[in-house]
Structure formats: C-alpha cells, structure tokens
Amino acid sequence: MITTDRMAAVDANAAALGVPRKQLMESSGNAVAREVRAVADPGATVALVCGRGNNGGDALVAARFLAEYETPVKLLGRPETIRTDIARENWAALGNAAIPAATVTDSRDFDLTGPEGAAGDDPDVIVDAMLGSGISGDLREPERTAAAAINASDATVIAVDVPSGIDADTGEPTGNGDGDADTASGPVAVDADRVVTFHDEKPGLTALDAAVTVADIGIPAAAERFTGPGDLLGLDRDPDSHKGENGEVLVVGGGPYTGAPTLSALAALRAGADLVRVACPESVASEVQGFSPNLIVRALPGDRVGPSHAERVASLAAGTDTVVLGPGLGDGDGTREFVREFLTTYEGRAVVDADALRVVPEVDTDADLICTPHQGELVGMGGETADDPDERSELVREFAADLDHTLLVKGAVDVIADGDETRLNRTGNPGMTVGGTGDVLAGAVGALAAVTDPFRAAAVGAYAVGRAGDAAADANGAGLVATDLPDRLPEAMRNE
C-alpha cells in the first residue's frame, strides 16, 4: 500500500537511480493495454480519453500498444497545453505514426465516438486517463462533462491509476461539488469497472466497487528501500509562514564539551528551524554563544547538567517543537539522572544522542523519541547488529518496535526504523567518522522532526547530512571536519 505523496517520492528516487519517468510511462501504457486485452477482443472500439498530464500520457502510450483495436484518442484540451514533456512527446508520437487522435477544447463537443467527428460506433471499452494522482478539487470542464458521458455509457470503463475525480489516498471524490458554478450538482467522478494502478496498491482504491489490478512498471525496489532525492519532496517552506512556524528546537547538552551542542544547534538552523535555543551549563554558556550570534543560549547553573535542572529544561522544552538531548552532555551520574528525570515527564518529540541513549531502555516515557546511536551505542542500549544490511535492518526494526521509538542507527549504511517501516541511507563517506558529525545529524533531525513525522525526519536527516558530507569530502578530501557540514545542509536538502 502506498500513498500519493510517497509514490511521488519513490518515482523521483527511481529517476535518480537512472529509471526516468518516461520509461515508467511506457510500462504504464503497456499495462493499460494489457488490461484492455483482458476485456475486449481485437477489432473492438476502445476510446482513450486523455487529460493533459501524465495520466493522459499513459493512455497515449497505450494507443501504440493497441494496433489490433479501433482506438479513438480524445485529448481534453489543446496539444500546446499538455503539461509535461513526456506526455507531449507521446502525443507527438501518435501524430507521427498517424494513429487517429482528436482534441476536445469545448465540452459541448465531447462525444465518445470516432475521431474528428467521424460517426463511429459507441465504444466497447473506455479508458479513463483524464486525471490521476495530480488532481486537486472538483473536476473542471471539459473533464466534468466527459466524466458524465463516460458514466452514462454502457462501455466497460478502465481507469488509469485511479478513477478521475477520486482521491487515491481516501477513495473519496476530490471535490465537494461547488468547484464549477455553472454545473455544480455534487461531486462528479468516473465510476470505473476496472482500475489499473501502478507499482503498489493505493489506500483509496480498496473501497471502490471496481476490480483493481496492480501493474509492475519497473520501479526498482531500491527506490523505496533507500532514501533518495524524492524523500525531500514536500518539505519546502510555506511562503506565507511566520517566525516559529518552521520549527523551534531546544538543544540540551554541553558541560564537558562545548562544540557538540553548538554543532547540533547550527545544524538545526541550517536544516530549516526558525529558532534554536541551547540549554547548557553556565560554565560553557558564553563559549557556546561566542561561536554564533544565531543561537539563543540558556545557561543552567553549574558546570554539568544534572537532576536539579530537569524542571527548568522541562519548561524550556514546553515552548519548543523538539528537543535534542545529549550532545556533549558527558556521562556523569548526575547527567544520566537528569535525562531519566526529564524523560519521565516530557511528552513531546526528542532526538536522543550520545550519552543520553543508554537511559532510553530503562525509562518509562510518553515522549516520542528518535534515537541516533552508532552500532556500539545500539549494543549498549541492548540492541543487536549484523553485517548483512537486510538482517541488520530487520533487527533494528524489531528493536525499535520493542522500544516503541524511532531508531536511526548510524553506519556505512544507516538504518532508519520504527516498528512498521525501515529505510536505508547510503549517502555519506568514511571521512565522516571524524568527531562531531553525529552532533550535526542530531541537530538536523531535530529541526526536521519539528516539521514532519519522526521516521521521515530521521530518514531525511540521514540523507541530507550524508549528502552534505559528500560535498564536504569533494571539497576537503580526508581533511573533512564536522564544521564543514552545517552550511552545506541547505544545498543538500534541495530536491535535485
């Protein structure tokens, strides 16, 4: 089962792996043609009703695979307004090959018979390729009239990907019926007999009264299993957002170290957080502040974070979206006691790293944690590891389920898991074993967890920090240091 958003991500990841969308479209069109052959004998009339997006493109491809049928193609709109290059190329290919195709620009001209107004028989099959996953709101004209005509016909209706007008995630109509003042009369959607959808089932299709076929279109398993540029889709800032709406992060750390909390905080800012506060012992507060005027520092009395600070940190945490717990805290008894006490009452989201990790298995917490251990720390928490990535990811998934938290286990290949899902990340390089890169990762994940779910925050954080590290290695070779990474995060988070 896959949602529309995740499908778009996987599609982009496939393209990054060298399987571009046009190739997938060829497979989709072929699958549509197979579905036609399953319901109609050669010589039958198969009307292909095509929108101007890639859903329509799938049917334009299908027309080339259906030479043994009568295939009137109806393009809804002018060819110049076809929205994607790959759909336009497939439209041109039909014209070049003299496969009959007509355009419908006025809904009053829509009929389901032969091309260019030539009187033909009513079709035996209608392929609904008007709109797929790119739809929003009520069907507009001429799609709305076409949907009504399709529903009034006796032909077998095969929907491409999803019936036009239906939300593939919910199975409900995409509109509420008031999208077009002239024709408003409740939502309109194609009532399909069959649906040929691609790659995986869609949650909204199961509820429909239609036979659903899932066609393999050649998306490599790696496009889903590994993070890729598609994982970054949809994380862009809302242009109308206000200060604080893109995340407020509290980093709790420092004492024996000053660099670690600073690296986390700077990474959180570069990963998109609006406000980052650092709660650290007063002994290091001015040093942390001295690293950057972009940070807001909250000094805690003394030179180590201890149980007496739990209340103050809890009140700071209450005003933020996420907490990053651990960078440079050290492993004193009082520090562990602090982490235990804080997590007992905290109910929000936190990234837990470094010395704070050991406390997680022993504490009863309502917080939603993202733990970022390396393999050694994972074992210290009671988890198991293995050399084989498949075996390792299953062990991590099971341990995440036991803990009821999200895990990001760092390694040459990172494993991200919650109880349900696992993902692997292979960005990054051996130069990143240098000190401080883990602090950068924890901060980046903290910022991302303020704007997306924990699993995705961990996966995207690992991907982006690895990518930043790869750019830093290109520039600095074996001389890569952790301070090279935060400033490279914005570029690394660009979806390309």
Ligand X SMILES: NC(=O)C1=CN([C@@H]2O[C@H](COP(=O)(O)OP(=O)(O)OC[C@H]3O[C@@H](n4cnc5c(N)ncnc54)[C@H](O)[C@@H]3O)[C@@H](O)[C@H]2O)[C@H](O)CC1
Numbered residues of the known binding site: 54-58, 128, 132-138, 161, 164, 260, 328, 374, 438-439
Q: Residue from 63, 73, 146, 160 that binds K ion (CB under 5 A)?
A: 160
- The least CB distance from residue 200 to K ion, in Å, is 17
Q: Which residues make Cβ contacts (< 8 Å) with residue 280, sequence separation at least 6? A: 251, 252, 253, 254, 255, 258, 261, 288, 297, 298, 299, 300, 305, 328
Does the footprint of ligand X cover residue 273 (CB under 6 A)?
no
Does the footprint of ligand X cover residue 21 (CB under 6 A)?
yes
How far does the chain reach from its first CA to its final CA, in angstroms? 26
Query: Binding site for (6S)-NADPHX: which residues?
Result: 54-58, 132-138, 161, 260, 328, 374, 439
The residue among 28 and 264 lying less far from ligand X, judged by its C-beta, is 28
Does the footprint of ligand X cover residue 37 (CB under 6 A)?
no
Query: Binding site for K(+): which residues?
Result: 55, 128, 164
In the range 111-130, which residues lie near K ion by CB under 5 A? 128
Do 15 and 233 touch, CB atoms closer than 8 A?
Answer: no
In the range 146-185, which residues lie near ligand X by CB under 6 A? 160-161
Does the footprint of ligand X cover residue 84 (CB under 6 A)?
yes
CA distance 329 to 252: 8
461 binds, among K ion, ligand X, none (CB under 5 to 8 A by kind): none
164 binds, among K ion, ligand X, none (CB under 5 to 8 A by kind): K ion
Q: Residue from 34, 37, 88, 140 that binds ligand X (CB under 6 A)?
A: 140
Does the footprint of K ion cover residue 322 (CB under 5 A)?
no
CA distance 421 to 228: 16
143 binds, among K ion, ligand X, none (CB under 5 to 8 A by kind): ligand X
Task: Classify residue 215 as left (phi > 0), alpha (psi -120 to 50) or beta.
Answer: beta
CA distance 410 to 161: 37
Long-range contacts of 334-339 (CB under 8 A, 24+ apart): 334/304, 334/305, 334/306, 334/307, 335/255, 335/304, 335/305, 335/306, 337/306, 337/307, 338/305, 338/306, 338/307, 338/309, 338/310, 338/313, 339/363
- The least CB distance from residue 87 to ligand X, in Å, is 7
Closest Cα partner for 447 from 239, 253, 266, 271? 271
298 binds, among ligand X, K ion, none (CB under 5 to 8 A by kind): none
Q: Residue from 64, 83, 88, 426 that binds ligand X (CB under 6 A)?
A: 83
Could you give the C-alpha distances from 116 to 102, 132, 241, 485, in angstroms and in order? 6, 25, 49, 60
Residue type for position 151:
N
The residue among 82 and 356 lying less far from ligand X, judged by its C-beta, is 82
For K ion, the binding residues (CB under 5 A) are: 55, 128, 132, 159-160, 164
For ligand X, the binding residues (CB under 6 A) are: 7, 11, 21, 24-25, 28, 51, 53-58, 83-84, 131-140, 143, 160-161, 198-199
